[in-house]
Chain A
Amino acid sequence: MKHQVLILDDEPDVRKVIRQQLSGTQFEVLEAAHAEQAMDLLRDYALFIDVIICDVRMPGISGVEAVSYIREAHPTKPIIVLTGHPDLDLAVDFMKSGVVDYIVKPVEKDKLVAAVEKAAAKHQTFDPHDV
C-alpha cells in the first residue's frame, strides 16, 4: 500500500498543487481544509498516514494550534510545515515543538517530494499512540 500524506491547508488550490506535485510518487494524498477535519482523518486513518503537511495561516484553528494538537495526539507522526510567510522565530518554535521540516512556498516539486520522503523515513512503523 502506498504511503499516505495528509495535507492540512484551507486553500483548495494549494491542496491541489501539493497533490499534483506528489502525483507519480509513492505517496497518496488525503486532504483536510481545517484542523478538525485533519484530526478526524488522523483518528480514522492513523495507521496509514505517514506524513502531515500543515499550513500556518488558516482561519479558525491556526497551523500553530493544529500542530500542537497533532503532536499531542500523535507524537511520532512527522509534520512538515508549509507556509507562505517565512518567519525565523516561528520556524525555530515549530522545529523545537518537533516539526521535522519548515518549508516556505513556493517550493519546487523535487524539493517537496524529497522533504516528504525524508519525513516518511523518520516515521516509525509502529506507534503505540496510533493503535
Chain B
Amino acid sequence: MATRDLGENLLRLAVHASPSGILIVDAGGEIVFANEALLGMFDYELDELLGQPVEVLVPPVDVELHRKHREKFGARPVPRAMGRRESFGAVRKDGEEFSVEIGLRPTEVEGERMVVATIIDVTERRRIEERLRRYDEHLEELIEQRTQELREAQAQKEQVVERLIQSEKLAAIGTLVSGIGHEINNPLYMILGTAEALQDATDVDDCRQFGTEIIEHCRKISGTVTNLSRYARPGSMDNTQTVDLNDVVEAAIESVHRTKRSDEVDIVWTRQPVAEVPGRPDELQQALFNVIRNAVQASGEHGVIRIGLEERDDSVDVMVRDNGPGIPEEHRSKVFDPFFSTKGPDDGEGLGLYIVRQIVSRHGGDIQVTCGEGTTFTLRFPASPKTDRGETS
C-alpha cells in the first residue's frame, strides 16, 4: 500500500488516541507538546505544561539528576526503547509521586533538535510486581519453614526408630539373660540338690547314681555355653565348599528321624535340581536339622512336614512347612532370639532357631517365617556364581 499523505489532523488524532503518554521536549528541556494520555496521567491542562521545563514532571528530589541526564542525552542522543523494566519517578500536578517507564526518541523538527518521550504509568504494575515479590518471599519462607518442620520430623522419627531399635535390643538381651539364668541355674540347682543328697548317701550305688546325674547336669550347662558362644559371634567363612542343598536336606532329615517323636510325623520331600551354594556342609546340616526338628515339635501327632527346594535368580530357597497351629503374631519377631521358647524342657533350651539364623546369616543368606496353614520357614542362600557351576546352555 502506497504511503498516503495523512493530514495533520489525522496524525494529531492518532497521537492523542495513544494510551501511552507522549511528550515532546526541545533541546533546552522545555515542553513543546503533550498528548491527552500524558495530560491525564500528570493531571495537567496542555497550556499549563507548554513552555515549562520538563523537570516540572519530575519529583523534586530527582530534578538535579534528571537535568544532568537530559544534558548528557542531548550531547549524545540515541534512541532508548521502552520495556527495559527500568522505571523512574514522576510527579503529578498535586505532588503525588508515581512510577513511569520512559522511551526516548531524538528527532529534528525544522532544524531544531527535539526529543519525543513515550511515557507509561507503571504504578499498578510495580504494585503487582511488589506484591508478587512479597508473595514469592512468603512462599520461600513457607517452603523453608516446611522444610525445617520436615527435617525436624525426620530427626524425631530417626530418634524414635533408634529408641525402638535400642529397646528391641534390650528386650533381646533381656530374653538372653533370662534364658541364660534359666538354662544354667536350673541344672546348677539340680547339681546342688544331687550333691546334697550325695552327702547323706551311704549306699555306694546311690553315690554312683548321684555322681552320674551331676556329670549329666554339668554337661548340659557346658553344652548351653558352647552353643551360645559358638554361634554368638560371626565365624570365619574360610574353607567353604560347594554344597548341593539336596544332600544337606537329606542328611538333616536322616538325623531328625533319629530323634524322638519324629515317627509321629510324615516328612514329604523329593530332590530338586537346583544350583549349588558355597558353604559349610556341617553348619548347613545343623541349620536344616534345627528347622526340621522344630517343625516336628510344632506339628505333633499325624503332622505332615513338606520340604521344598527352589532356585531363584541368584539364590536357592529351602522351604520347610509344617501343619501345626502356627506361631502367634506376637511371638514371630522373637522366635530367632536366643532362649526364646514356648516349648517344654524336653524340647531344647530355645537356642535352635537362634543358631539357624546365625548360620544362615554367616552364609550371606536370609531366613523368613510366615504363617498361613501351619508355619513355613524359608531359608535363602546365595547360589555359587554360574561360572563355578560349569553351567551348560
Q: Which residues of A line the B interface, CB within 8 A? A: 10-14, 16-18, 20-21, 57-59, 83-87, 104-109
Contacts and interface: CB of A to CB of B under 8 A. Distances in A.
19 contacts: A10-B344, A10-B345, A13-B186, A14-B186, A17-B190, A17-B192, A17-B193, A17-B194, A20-B194, A84-B181, A84-B183, A84-B185, A105-B185, A105-B186, A106-B185, A106-B193, A107-B192, A109-B193, A109-B196
B195 to A, nearest CB: 10
Given A11-B186, A85-B181, A59 B341 contact: yes
A107 B185 CA distance: 10
Contacts of B194: 17, 20
Contacts of A13: 186, 190, 217
What 10 pairs across the A-B complex have the smallest Cβ distances? Answer: A17-B193, A84-B185, A85-B181, A106-B189, A105-B189, A106-B192, A84-B182, A106-B188, A11-B345, A105-B185
A84 B190 contact: no
Interface string B153-183: 0000000000000000000000001100111
Interface of B: 177-178, 181-186, 188-194, 196-197, 217, 341-345
Contacts of B184: 84
Nearest to B187: A13
Contact of B344 (A18, A21, A59, A84): A59
Contact of B191 (A85, A87, A106): A106
A29 B49 CA distance: 126
Contacts of A85: 177-178, 181-182, 185
A83 B184 CA distance: 11
B189 A17 contact: yes
A16 B191 CA distance: 12
Contacts, number: 65
Contacts of B178: 57, 85, 87
Contacts of A83: 181-182
Contacts of A108: 192, 196
Given A21-B196, A59-B343, A59-B344, A14 B189 contact: yes
B121 to A, nearest CB: 81
A49 B193 CA distance: 23
Contacts of B181: 83-86
A21 B193 contact: yes
Nearest to A110: B196
A29 to B, nearest CB: 13
Q: Which of A10, A18, A20 has the most CB of B within 10 A?
A: A20
Contacts of A20: 193-194, 196-197
B361 to A, nearest CB: 27
Given A10-B344, A10-B345, A57 B193 contact: no
A108 B188 CA distance: 11
Contacts of B344: 10, 58-59
Given A18-B193, A20-B197, A84-B181, 19 more contacts: A10-B344, A12-B345, A16-B190, A17-B189, A17-B192, A17-B193, A20-B193, A20-B194, A20-B196, A21-B196, A58-B344, A83-B181, A84-B184, A84-B185, A85-B178, A85-B185, A105-B188, A106-B191, A107-B189
Nearest to B210: A20
B206 to A, nearest CB: 11
Contacts of A18: 193
Contacts of B191: 106
A89 to B, nearest CB: 10
Contacts of A12: 345
A94 to B, nearest CB: 15
A57 B182 contact: yes
B215 to A, nearest CB: 14
Contacts of A107: 189, 192
B170 to A, nearest CB: 13
Name, among B178, B186, B188, B197, the residue most crowded by chain A CB atoms within 10 Å (CB to CB).
B186
Contacts of B177: 85
A85 B183 CA distance: 9
B189 A84 contact: yes
